[in-house]
Copies of this chain bind each other. A is one copy, B any other.
Amino acid sequence: METLEVALGDRSYPIYIGVGCLDQANLVQQHVVGQQVMIVSNDTIAPLYLEKAKALFVGYDVSWVILPDGEKYKDLDHLNLIFDALLKHRHSRSTTLVALGGGVVGDMTGYAAASYQRGVNFIQLPTTLLAQVDSSVGGKTGVNHRLGKNMIGAFHQPQCVIIDPNCLQTLPARQLSSGLAEVIKYGLIWDEAFFSWLELEVDNFAKLDMAVIERAIYRSCEIKAEVVAQDERENGVRALLNLGHTFGHAIENCAGYGEVLHGEAVAIGTYMAADLSKQLGWLTDADCVRIEQLTQRAGLPLIPPPELSASALRDAMNLDKKVENGKVRLVLMTAIGKACVTLDFEQHQLEKTLAAGESLCK
């Protein structure tokens, strides 16, 4: 088992990564202050892992709440089900919430923890690759609004994150690919060598090669922890983690939450960012081909569903959190392994990217 630290002063916390670490009760128990634990999961994950999670808290007063699975339930109404359960079971300010599931469960549990009695502790037990490499680390929590993704939330750091790659044994292939989109992102924004290593190893993810997966999770979390420690509230460098996300959120919003998986939308959005970067002369044709090939080999889509019009995507992008004075700041790439946040593009160039469809990066 390996341990990373997210260094945030009195909000610092460890990330434990290792096959089988979800079986180690002592690991998680040292991060539980009181006697009450509320496990939050969904109806896909609970049948697979709820008993395992409960076994971590023998001797505690454990309750659980099971949400319907899916991005489309990541809203205030379903958040309220967590509050209902906490109040029904009379959980106090010293309770610990435990997020057992993917990104949606983690984001909702974290926001519920940020808000219940104005803030209680929580722990992340991510069970999808996407949550393990990205959403469980860094303290971004929240829910969607009909008019925009992740528009309602809080920065609230967990007490610890426990990542057991064994959970990926039960993860559908499409979900595994979705997580790979975020892994590829770290290579693109931060670490060309990691991107090259992924080019060598990408086929081993689908084969569930645990050594490869564990290394990818470790390096992804290491980069994320470094970025978050520098800029917890996204006033600067943390924005780079949003590569592909402004395009991606617009795709998710226009397609209807859950129709295109988050990682799929990020993959498409990253390819759109590559297209715009290429228009600006920042990426070469060869760079774009590398991105295209790795994305495809990871089992991810490259172009948006044809029914999403450029104008619908543009309108959705204008609602993004990154909009200032009517113009959206985008993360673009200047090389593989190097990205920047920029307003340095013309509207007609963005329009061209949004309308490109199969001509993206061509």
For the complex, is A114 an interface residue (Cβ under 8 Å from B)? yes
CA distance A306 to B90 in the complex (A): 27
Residue of A83, A318, A324 with most partner-chain B CB within 10 A: A83
Known: A94-B324, A154-B154, A321-B93. A87 touches B145 (CB 8 A): yes
Instruction: In the complex, identify which listed stretch (A17-25, A50-58, A116-124, A283-291) lies at the interface while the others stay far away.
Output: A116-124
The interface residues of chain B lying within 8 Å CB-to-CB of A348 are none
A258 CB to nearest B CB, Å: 20
Number of copies: 2
* Residues of A within 8 A of B (CB-CB), count: 36
Query: Does A153 lie within 8 Å of B90, measured CB to CB?
Result: no
The 8 A CB mask of A237-266 against B (1 = contact, 0 = none) is: 000000000000000000000000000000
> A76-B76, A76-B80, A87-B145 known; A324 and B114 CB under 8 Å?
no
Min Cβ gap A129→B in Å is 24
Q: Cα distance A145–B112 when bound, in Å? A: 13
A100 to B154, CA, bound (A): 24
Q: Does A170 contact B (CB under 8 A)?
A: no
Residue A224 is within 8 A (CB to CB) of chain B in the complex: no
List residues of chain B with CB within 8 A of the CB of A145. 80, 83-84, 87
A87 near B148 (CB under 8 angstroms)?
Answer: yes
Find residues 84-129 in chain A having any chain B CB closer than 8 Å to their own CB: 84, 87-88, 90, 92-94, 114-119
Q: Once the chains bind, are B318 and A151 in contact (CB under 8 Å)?
A: no
The digit string for A135-150, where 1 denotes a CB below 8 A from any CB of B, is 0000010100101100
Check if A155 is an interface residue, CB within 8 A of chain B.
yes
> Could you tell me the distance in whole angstroms from the C-beta of A63 to the nearest C-beta in chain B?
14
- A90 touches which of B80, B142, B323 (Cβ 8 Å): B323
A sample of 25 cross-chain residue pairs with beta-carbon separation below 8 angstroms, ordered by A number, consists of A76-B79, A76-B80, A87-B145, A87-B148, A87-B319, A88-B147, A92-B321, A92-B323, A92-B324, A93-B321, A93-B324, A94-B324, A114-B154, A115-B152, A116-B151, A116-B152, A117-B151, A117-B321, A118-B153, A118-B154, A118-B155, A118-B233, A119-B154, A119-B155, A154-B154
Residues in chain A within 8 A of chain B (CB atoms)? 35, 76-77, 79-80, 83-84, 87-88, 90, 92-94, 114-119, 140, 142, 145, 147-148, 151-155, 233, 318-319, 321, 323-325
